[in-house]
Chains A and B, each alone.
Chain A
Amino acid sequence: MKSLERDEVLAKLRERIVLYAAYHVSRDAAEDLAQEVLMLLHEKYAHLDRAEDLLPLSLQIVRFKIMSLRRKAVRRGEYSQVSITDIPLPDLDSNPLDQVARKEMMERLTRALGQLGGRCRELMRLKLQGKSFPEIQKIMGAGAINTVYTWDHRCRKQLLERMGGDWESPKR
């Protein structure tokens, strides 16, 4: 994987981004979104050439782009036409929608964490404390690292189920 050239990584990224975005937005919008992400990576993050750097960065850009498209659609009244006088002027410096979304997500996540079992809670605590999986293995006395992977996989699954199947609010 290391031997992959930057162009090769970006090509694969574009393919994944288009397919992922097409699930949330239209196909045309998804291709436009992927093109915007790649242009951003090419213009602003030209110094990054590794997949482990480009992929999370592209995921974050894709998420922001999708959220921006949704906000724009709402703003344009694509989902519901409302009077212009009823629309409050947006404050571009702060993003109340993001704040509300973060707050809601925090509340749901907190409730879901409280419903987890003892091992999952302990595992989640160690993860939030910044411990790596090898460190967690030692702390929890797991015999193998795969055991910790399995524990974390099950705990993530339980947490996701308790949050309704998605980290973010389903309304969004």
Chain B
Amino acid sequence: MNREDIEKLLGGYATGTLTPEEQQALFAAALEDQALFDNLAREQALHDLLRDPAARANLLAALDAPRPRPWRWLLQPAVLTGAVAALALVTVYVVREKRPAARPAAIETAQVRQFPPPQPAAPEPKPEENPVKQGEAAHAASGAAVTASPVVPLVERKETAVKSENAPAGAPAAVEKRAEPMKDAAAPAPLAAVPPEAPGGGPATKKTADTLVIDGSLRKEKAPGGVVGGVAPGERPFSMTRDDRSAAVSAQVLFYGSAPPVQTVKTAAERGGAGGAGPRQQQVTQQQVYQALAANQVAAKALTQYLGVKWSVLRMQPDGDFTAADANDLHAGDTVKLRFETNEAGYLRIAERQPGNVIRTVSDQPVERQQPFETAPVRLEGSGSREFAVLFSRQPQAASDRLDTISARADQESSADTKERANYVVGRADSPQPVSFNIRLSYR
């Protein structure tokens, strides 16, 4: 054992770990080496301490105790709470940084436009000065309702960043009124004409061309029923283009054009359902509709009388009541009946075209204006279709008028309202012909 190895025995001296051989080697070397002797002498203090069994026991207990870890302070409650809070803050910051800027909710606003009274020459309509105040004044005068006023409220849907959807009901601010010059007829100028309320109850929702909006919404709706007359089967009942707008006044509008009752439409705000303070309605007089149509120049013809028929399919519900149904969504086993309503008093003839081109008269009787007439219930059996012919005129039809020859006429307008589930067919004002069309009900 060399000098270095013997020096390593120093650690065993104090604790008494050395074997006799190790002690002999260590002490012999210490007698010869003063440095080793000095180191050994320094170990004597520890040696004396560790000779005490109690001291040994205390040190063993200290060694058995869990070693304090440098990171133990991290487990302190205050430190943990702070760390969680900091992590939450960082998370919130990161999430907010990554999230795109909140896009303003798309809302609908209503603009009140003012148009000059209808002029025969129908020049470009010019906006009146300070129409906003007029519109607001009219709006404020009736609270949430707009009553008859010299201005024509035109409800236009427009997505803006202005909050309106969630505005409390009754707040006039939900409807933004601005005066803008009436755009050219060929331009996509939104126009809202409000028809009278449907006799069946509920606000009448009408459809016009893509820019004509009745209830504040700009939409094109598909015909709910199988209107055969007025438009070709399978064709979109109301698919007029902008170029056709010279004659593109909805049959629905024309249908109600002859009747001037005060009607009610819902505003965009209340259709959104936000606010919860109850529906807010705007009452628009038919005079305003007239003025709107006249201002549009194209609709000026609607001021004159149109003969029209509104029809819909009623389906019997389990409770026995009949409710309006989609004519394109009929099924075998349904019990349905047709409901007709005219905008003028006249004579309505209804016949069913049966197989073999056999005509069976369903009804032939005079009808009053806006007095609904319903056919007898018919149960749809199996899969197939049933076709009806309708003829409406101001004068009693001659017996020679054959219903089996009725076909779509080019001088008629027709449109459908999916919301109301009703179809409108009107004849031209200058046409002496009665309104005639076919109805096909397909089911399976």
Per-residue 0/1 for A64-105: is the Cβ within 8 Å of any B Cβ (1 yes, 0 no)? 000000000000000000000000000000000000001001
- In the bound complex, residues from chain A placing their C-beta under 8 Å from that of B17 are 127, 130-133, 136, 152
Cα(A16)–Cα(B65), bound, Å: 40
**10 closest Cβ contacts across the A-B interface?**
A1-B28, A156-B11, A149-B8, A127-B15, A153-B8, A152-B11, A16-B37, A55-B27, A12-B31, A110-B62
Q: Identify the closest chain A residue to B55 (Cβ).
A: A106
- A138 on the B face (CB < 8 A): no
Cα(A159)–Cα(B25), bound, Å: 24
Q: Is the CB of A146 within 8 A of B32?
A: no
Chain B, 53-93, CB within 8 A of any chain A CB: 55-56, 58-60, 62-65, 67-68
Choose one: A9, A136, A155; the contact of B31 (CB below 8 Å): A9
Cα(A61)–Cα(B298), bound, Å: 129
Choose one: B8, B43, B60; the contact of A167 (CB below 8 Å): B43
Q: Is the CB of A109 within 8 A of B59?
A: yes
Determine which residue in A13, A51, A55 has the highest number of CB atoms from chain B within 10 A of its CB, and name it. Answer: A55
Cα(A2)–Cα(B56), bound, Å: 32
- In the bound complex, residues from chain A placing their C-beta under 8 Å from that of B50 are 128
Q: Is the CB of A128 within 8 A of B63?
A: yes
- In the bound complex, residues from chain A placing their C-beta under 8 Å from that of B130 are none
A132-B19, A167-B42 as given contacts; A152 in contact with B8, CB under 8 Å: yes
- B186 on the A face (CB < 8 A): no
- B277 on the A face (CB < 8 A): no
Q: Is the CB of A56 within 8 A of B45?
A: no
Q: Is the CB of B63 within 8 A of A1?
A: no
- In the bound complex, residues from chain A placing their C-beta under 8 Å from that of B10 are 153, 156
Q: Is the CB of B5 within 8 A of A149?
A: yes
- B378 on the A face (CB < 8 A): no
> Can you sample 17 A-B contacts with CB below 8 Å?
A1-B24, A51-B27, A59-B44, A60-B47, A106-B49, A109-B46, A110-B58, A114-B67, A121-B63, A124-B59, A127-B12, A128-B63, A133-B18, A146-B5, A153-B11, A166-B42, A168-B45
Cα(A115)–Cα(B46), bound, Å: 18
Residues on A lying within 8 angstroms of B by beta carbon are: 1-2, 4, 9, 12-13, 16, 19-20, 23, 51-52, 55-56, 59-60, 62-63, 102, 105-106, 109-110, 113-114, 118, 121, 124-125, 127-134, 136, 146, 149-150, 152-153, 155-156, 166-168
Looking at the assembled complex, report how far the CB atom of B66 sits from the nearest CB atom of chain A, in whole angstroms: 10
Cα(A12)–Cα(B19), bound, Å: 23
Cα(A128)–Cα(B56), bound, Å: 6
- B30 on the A face (CB < 8 A): yes
Chain B, 367-418, CB within 8 A of any chain A CB: none
- In the bound complex, residues from chain B placing their C-beta under 8 Å from that of A131 are 17
Determine which residue in A13, A110, A136, A146 has the highest number of CB atoms from chain B within 10 A of its CB, and name it. Answer: A110
Looking at the assembled complex, report how far the CB atom of A14 sits from the nearest CB atom of chain B, in whole angstroms: 11
Cα(A149)–Cα(B2), bound, Å: 13
Given contacts A51-B24, A125-B64, A127-B17, 5 further A-B contacts (CB under 8 A): A12-B32, A102-B49, A127-B11, A153-B10, A167-B45
Looking at the assembled complex, report how far the CB atom of B25 sits from the nearest CB atom of chain A, in whole angstroms: 8
- In the bound complex, residues from chain B placing their C-beta under 8 Å from that of A19 are 34, 37-38
- B48 on the A face (CB < 8 A): yes
Determine which residue in A114, A134, A167 has the highest number of CB atoms from chain B within 10 A of its CB, and name it. Answer: A167
Q: Identify the closest chain A residue to B52 (Cβ).
A: A102
Q: Is the CB of A20 within 8 A of B37?
A: yes
- B333 on the A face (CB < 8 A): no
Q: Is the CB of B31 within 8 A of A130?
A: no
Q: Identify the closest chain B residue to A153 (Cβ).
A: B8
Determine which residue in B12, B47, B68 has the highest number of CB atoms from chain A within 10 A of its CB, and name it. Answer: B12
Looking at the assembled complex, report how far the CB atom of B113 sits from the nearest CB atom of chain A, in whole angstroms: 86
Cα(A66)–Cα(B41), bound, Å: 11
Q: Is the CB of B49 within 8 A of A20?
A: no
- B20 on the A face (CB < 8 A): yes
- In the bound complex, residues from chain A placing their C-beta under 8 Å from that of B60 are 125, 128-129
Q: Identify the closest chain B residue to A21 (Cβ).
A: B41
- In the bound complex, residues from chain A placing their C-beta under 8 Å from that of B28 are 1, 4, 51
- B128 on the A face (CB < 8 A): no
Per-residue 0/1 for B146-175: is the Cβ within 8 Å of any A Cβ (1 yes, 0 no)? 000000000000000000000000000000
Cα(A124)–Cα(B16), bound, Å: 12
Choose one: B9, B23, B41, B49; the contact of A59 (CB below 8 Å): B41
Choose one: A113, A118, A152, A156; the contact of B59 (CB below 8 Å): A113
Looking at the assembled complex, report how far the CB atom of A164 sits from the nearest CB atom of chain B, in whole angstroms: 12
